[in-house]
Chain A
């Protein structure tokens, strides 16, 4: 053969081989698009430091762990169902209109697959109808108002964390168990939905459990008032042996400093329903004997399980502070969403919001804060057990401690399915299963 013909043959052969190889490569599936989550929390403003930032950090550390597939079973698949998660963090600060606008931006402009967030009950109440309208899977991680699922049935909105009724019913039970001689109690709560609802549930529970114990001073200072001299004086003139407060953050810290300076905690035991979030900052400034709640079995109130130890370790290693309850709530919410997603996903195809919602209803799982059952609110609202304890500052170790912990089963302090929380309390908490 001539030289030219041989060359042509080699070129043609090479082209043929290349042509055969290309379709083989084209058969490999393209890398899956990541799952986009919108994470909304207070990143600035007074609620950032005790709640918003721990919640955001909880999201960051859990998403990182999920994306490397290093979380403990049954959460050890990468991301959600093998697909990595990409998070966009949005600040919850601003008016309700602002919050809703940001929500719409996440869904319509940023095309997120789901939104996990919201601390303020006001934000949750504003976002709920919009989430239903846009048919976007939304998981509220911290807001406490029971109203979300009591007003009407929801399709796309879920809340893994129990609502605030649990905190105040358990507070009443713990107080009566630990301070048997109580004849009178007072309250200081912030004058808005959270403070009003907390007091209402506490008083309601006390009336059912101990009808002879009366309430004396009922104080509702303005949210973020900061200066409580007159309130402390009023409480000093009261005969109550116990004081209920759902104060948080700057208000709680300011109140603690001001009452400490005047010895109020020597006259009455203070019950702080959200106290757990503040113990690492208040440290020896918080009086021994204060009754501390953590919106569930979170932080020092959590059971010593493998997944709790794992969560505490990864969080503390990264942020140099132990995780407090907002971080736990965020972790529980993400784990619940992950399980729902994976239950709904079939053969690698991405599930729709409707399929995830159907899978989410009624699921049960174990997270760092214990066992969750999506048992009320038509399967959209989670219940867990809770715990209350007494604060002590360990002077040898120079560390805060919560001792004398009492656990209350989920069905003891949460309303059963099908009845509103305040009605359940007013009617005597029928059906409560306490041990």
Chain B
């Protein structure tokens, strides 16, 4: 395994490897590529979807503006990358700064939205709430232009300075490996928080049955506010970690929100393990499609979602709820 560091196309010491010419070697290569690509894509989807599924599970709100959290996190991270590259900070400190900046943007945005707008529509019809979040999403798209302008931003420095690793014929970006690690850490943290902290257990009861929880004296309003803010920060974190890979430009929130919905629908709304499994399924299926049958790459995500919903209409990890009167 060879590891290369440093930036710029010119000083990369890679030797162009040629893919294996025998078919079994090629099959192994393709299979390992599908696995690694699937994991990386799953990591990206999980980080974005976990916030969405939390908000839906607790508040039963389909938050279309989650795409805005992602976009704001990405733009905040791009600004942070600009600051630390101009200041010549070390790469690790800069990366941490970028993450924190993204989450801070999510925090502020989450507070403004929850206290300012959502608080006014709790208890109203679900359709109205979806429309409100959609309207907020549209407004925030233009707010982005007001703050950051219509041009796109490049924040590639963390990804380039991480370098890459060659495993056989496959070249992996170290930044992608970091992404997978972050997603795994997040999954672990979420599991621990839900099972072993007081807030986590309150959250679980509210997800399970809001009215009963309220009857037992749980401060549901506080849980709502805290959940929305945490969900916003997680969405923004997703944008922040993805910013070095993509061009941070207008419209990135739109793409990601559709994918996040598909993941949450597969896993079940409100289920963290569902988001994890859903992300893995979507990631690996999509990677397989791109490698083997690229024509169905777009369809396969939604095809899988439709298949899962036929068998388990509430998603993989959520049981049908008996209707209450």
B and A form one assembly: yes
Tell me, in angstroms, the Cα distance from A159 to B40 when the chains sit together: 44
A203 to chain B, nearest CB (A): 15
Q: Which bracket fits the contact residues of A?
A: 35 or more
Tell me, in angstroms, the Cα distance from A257 to B33 when the chains sit together: 19
A interface footprint on B81-103 (CB within 8 Å = 1, 0 otherwise): 00000000000000000000000
A8 to chain B, nearest CB (A): 71
CB atoms of B152 and A253 under 8 A apart: yes
CB atoms of A224 and B255 under 8 A apart: yes
CB atoms of A220 and B37 under 8 A apart: no
A54 to chain B, nearest CB (A): 11
CB atoms of A234 and B291 under 8 A apart: yes
CB atoms of A267 and B249 under 8 A apart: no
Contact of B311 with A by CB under 8 A: no
Tell me, in angstroms, the Cα distance from A211 to B55 when the chains sit together: 56
CB atoms of B298 and A191 under 8 A apart: yes
CB atoms of A226 and B173 under 8 A apart: no
Contact of B273 with A by CB under 8 A: no
Please, which residue of chain B has its CB at the minimum distance from the CB of A263? B14
CB atoms of B8 and A284 under 8 A apart: yes
Tell me, in angstroms, the Cα distance from A53 to B18 when the chains sit together: 42
B interface footprint on A393-409 (CB within 8 Å = 1, 0 otherwise): 00100000000000000
Contact of B19 with A by CB under 8 A: yes
Contact of A250 with B by CB under 8 A: yes
Most buried by B among A45, A263, A285, A395: A263
Residues of A within 8 A of B252 (CB): 224, 226, 250
B interface footprint on A224-261 (CB within 8 Å = 1, 0 otherwise): 11110111011011110000000001111110011011
Please, which residue of chain A has its CB at the minimum distance from the CB of B252? A226
A281 to chain B, nearest CB (A): 7
Contact of B145 with A by CB under 8 A: yes
Q: Given known contacts A46-B250, A281-B154, is B37 in contact with A262 (CB within 8 Å)?
A: no
Contact of A287 with B by CB under 8 A: yes
CB atoms of B152 and A226 under 8 A apart: no
A interface footprint on B129-157 (CB within 8 Å = 1, 0 otherwise): 00000000000001001000011101010
CB atoms of A237 and B291 under 8 A apart: yes
Residues facing B in A169-224 (CB within 8 A) are 191, 217-222, 224
Q: Given known contacts A237-B26, A262-B164, A263-B14, is B150 in contact with A45 (CB within 8 Å)?
A: yes
Contact of A49 with B by CB under 8 A: yes
Tell me, in angstroms, the Cα distance from A237 to B246 when the chains sit together: 22
Contact of B294 among A218, A285, A395 (CB under 8 A): A218
Tell me, in angstroms, the Cα distance from A107 to B12 when the chains sit together: 55
Contact of B69 with A by CB under 8 A: no
CB atoms of B150 and A265 under 8 A apart: no
Residues of B within 8 A of A98 (CB): none
CB atoms of B156 and A285 under 8 A apart: yes
Contact of B215 with A by CB under 8 A: no
Residues facing A in B1-60 (CB within 8 A) are 8-10, 12, 14, 16-19, 26, 29-30, 33-34, 36-38, 40-41, 44
Contact of A261 among B164, B294, B295 (CB under 8 A): B164
CB atoms of B245 and A227 under 8 A apart: yes
CB atoms of B176 and A285 under 8 A apart: no
Tell me, in angstroms, the Cα distance from A49 to B150 when the chains sit together: 6
Residues of A within 8 A of B44 (CB): 227
Contact of B202 with A by CB under 8 A: no
Contact of B9 among A48, A220, A288 (CB under 8 A): A288
Residues of B within 8 A of A261 (CB): 159-160, 162, 164, 173, 175
Residues of B within 8 A of A46 (CB): 152, 249-251
B interface footprint on A15-58 (CB within 8 Å = 1, 0 otherwise): 00000000000000000000000000001111011100100000
CB atoms of A266 and B33 under 8 A apart: no
Contact of B41 among A49, A227, A238 (CB under 8 A): A227
Please, which residue of chain A has its CB at the minimum distance from the CB of B40? A229
Tell me, in angstroms, the Cα distance from A224 to B245 when the chains sit together: 13
A346 to chain B, nearest CB (A): 43
Residues of B within 8 A of A222 (CB): 255, 298
Tell me, in angstroms, the Cα distance from A145 to B34 when the chains sit together: 35
Residues of B within 8 A of A229 (CB): 37, 40-41, 176
CB atoms of A260 and B160 under 8 A apart: yes
Contact of B207 with A by CB under 8 A: no
Please, which residue of chain A has its CB at the minimum distance from the CB of B162? A261
CB atoms of B247 and A233 under 8 A apart: no
Q: Which residues of B contact A (CB under 8 A)?
A: 8-10, 12, 14, 16-19, 26, 29-30, 33-34, 36-38, 40-41, 44, 142, 145, 150-152, 154, 156, 159-160, 162, 164, 169-173, 175-176, 242, 244-252, 254-255, 286-287, 290-291, 294-295, 297-298
Minimum-distance CB pairs A-B, first 8: A250-B247, A253-B247, A250-B249, A230-B290, A261-B173, A230-B37, A49-B151, A254-B246
A-B contact pairs, 23 of them (CB 8 A): A44-B145, A45-B251, A48-B150, A49-B249, A53-B150, A222-B255, A224-B252, A227-B41, A227-B242, A227-B246, A230-B286, A230-B287, A234-B291, A237-B30, A237-B33, A253-B154, A253-B247, A257-B156, A257-B245, A262-B171, A285-B9, A285-B160, A286-B9
